[in-house]
Chain A
Amino acid sequence: MTPDKQPSLRSRSRRKIPVAPLHDFPPGTRMEVKVGSVQIAVFNVGGDFYALYGRCPHQSAPLSRGRLQGTVICNAETCWKTEWAHDGEVLVCPGHGMEYHIRSGKAFGYNLRLRTYEVVVEDGQVKLVM
């Protein structure tokens, strides 16, 4: 297949998948969405929506059921002192506790990033963009 015949991800139309009416998805709640065999965890954190790939790469536990809290960091910015950080933004896997930054999908302490998805609110509906 030549490159110009290959359907690129960009040219493929993006699907918007309704998740819930906005009033049914208030801050502090989360939804587990399955699109075919793909599981996605969608969170409302203080009015901002985040969606991440929903199965932990370690042993497949459902990330939609993880707690949100903070974690400890220690890096050049903290002058190599340990500090509590990202309070409320760290998704803790309910399997064995791997931690993911809810905004970026980046795993703390691993060279690993979960796929994230855009979430939009249109006409009072929360929609997942895939």
Chain B
Amino acid sequence: MAADGQLVTVQKVEPASNPVQDEDLEQYGEDLSGLTIVDVDVHVDDTLMYMLDYMEGHFRKRMETVLQADFKGEPGNSLRNMIAHIAWLGSSYDKPPRAKLATKEDLLARMEKGIIDYSILFPSELLPVGYLPEPEWAAALATAYNQYMVDAYNNLAGVKIAIVVAPQHPDRAAEEIDLHAAHPDVVSVCIPDVGVNPPIGDEKYRPIFEAAARHDLPISFHGIEALIHDNYPLRVAHFHTLMQVNSMGFPFTSMLQIMSVVCAGIPVRFPNLKFAILEAGLTWMPFIMYRLDAAYLRYRTELPALEKKPSDYIRDWYIGTHELEALPRRGDLVKLIELYQGHETTMWASDWPHLERDLIAGFMRYEMDDELRRKILGENALRFFGLTPRK
């Protein structure tokens, strides 16, 4: 019906039982048509029950025991819930609709909607793998995850996989990279950046970097809440709310790992190795780059392997936009990117389907020229992951 020449539509709707996703919205249409969009941080249901068939010997027995436990009554049992949410259980009063775990069918439905050209799958369950004190158990879980993902998600149009490694077992991590690197759907090695102790620049992790460089497979550090661990890198038990841990955990651990990699001279030893940092937001990038530069002036002799100042290495790192900070003005994102020189390295990331995922509209509200928008939404990620455009 028309009123003052304006089209009026009325639709009866129901409250959403899951958070709305980009693919649920009809609002993008022309804005995004013709653009290549690569979502560099996507999660599917990888709860432990899927790992059982990929575990052997006594670890399979152990997994059977784990699966009998009922953590928060969730199907498939959750390493994350086991480790993480105990301390803050219920702190959000069940306020937002709880994000459900995305099945393969959910992912395929999203891809069929045609907004996203590529989804890069990263672990959810295995992100806390760095916490596990037993290297063999951590490595067994990573092995199971990788094989499960490669079996279940191979050869799907626009779907690519980042394998995960358990950093506490560098030799097994290198074997995982050697095993999967040639798979056409494996596009990155994910190193969880929390719980990695000592920090990832330590000499003991060299086999991981050697293997990734050998296969020209880019490394993606993926953040996670600093959760409940009480030592490295933050004594998070001193914070009373999950919000504080969440806000600081991701960027702090990301900064620590970037600092560690650069100060260890890894980019000098492996000049072709590409790095990305995911799920930590963007605003701290100028801080860590130029803070390190300031200190480098005084302490350069501690880092004799470096051939240029720290920010010259860090600006080559790729970075995922999620969790995109709520900058107050529409021009602020471009200013921020200029500060860390990220025109060629910033990649749009949603964190789909998690509750904190970013909707494309959140990125589109920032003003920028078309060229930069194209780079961030897709072109930079195509280059980082070695993908060819699908349209």
Contacts and interface: CB of A to CB of B under 8 A. Distances in A.
Interface of A: 15, 17-20, 24, 29-36, 58-62, 64-69, 71-72, 92-97, 99
Contacts of A31: 10-13
B20 A61 contact: yes
Interface in B2-16: 3-4, 6-16
The SS class assigned to the B binding surface is loop
Interface stretch (B101-109, B201-209, B268-276, B358-366): B358-366
B1 interface: yes
11 contacts: A15-B3, A17-B8, A24-B12, A35-B3, A35-B8, A36-B6, A60-B361, A60-B362, A92-B95, A92-B96, A97-B97
B237 interface: no
A33 B8 contact: yes
Among B7, B15, B361, chain A packs the most CB atoms within 10 A around the CB of: B15
Among A15, A61, A69, chain B packs the most CB atoms within 10 A around the CB of: A61
Contact of A65 (B16, B95, B361): B16
A15 B8 CA distance: 12
Interface string B348-391: 00000001101101100100000000000000000000000000
Contacts of B326: 58
A85 to B, nearest CB: 12
Contacts of A65: 13-16, 20
B19 A60 contact: no
Contacts of B10: 19-20, 31-34
B6 A35 contact: yes
B19 A95 contact: yes
B12 A29 contact: yes
A96 B97 CA distance: 8
Contact of A18 (B1, B6, B15, B358): B1
A19 B8 CA distance: 9
Contacts of A19: 10
Contacts of B68: none
Contacts of A18: 1
B27 interface: yes
Contacts of B11: 31-33
A66 B15 contact: yes
Contacts of A33: 8-11
Interface of B: 1, 3-4, 6-16, 19-20, 25, 27, 92-93, 95-97, 326, 355-356, 358-359, 361-362, 365
Nearest to A91: B15
Given A20-B10, A61-B19, 13 more contacts: A18-B1, A31-B10, A33-B11, A34-B10, A58-B326, A59-B362, A61-B359, A62-B20, A65-B16, A94-B16, A94-B20, A95-B359, A97-B355
A17 B7 CA distance: 11
Contacts of A58: 326, 362
Given A60-B361, A67-B97, A71-B95, A96 B8 contact: no
B93 A59 contact: no
Nearest to B18: A94
B359 A97 contact: no
Given A68-B15, A71-B95, A62 B25 contact: yes
Contact of A94 (B6, B7, B15): B15
B19 A67 contact: no
A107 to B, nearest CB: 13
Nearest to A69: B95
Those 5 A-B pairs whose CB atoms lie nearest each other, nearest first = A97-B96, A59-B362, A36-B6, A60-B361, A94-B16
B40 to A, nearest CB: 18
Contacts of B359: 59-61, 95
B358 A59 contact: yes
B361 A59 contact: yes
Contact of B8 (A34, A66, A69): A34
A19 B4 CA distance: 16
B95 A97 contact: yes
Nearest to A64: B13
Contacts of B95: 69, 71, 92, 97, 99
Contacts of B27: 60
A18 B8 CA distance: 9
A35 B307 CA distance: 60
Among A30, A66, A94, chain B packs the most CB atoms within 10 A around the CB of: A94
Nearest to B362: A59
B164 to A, nearest CB: 26
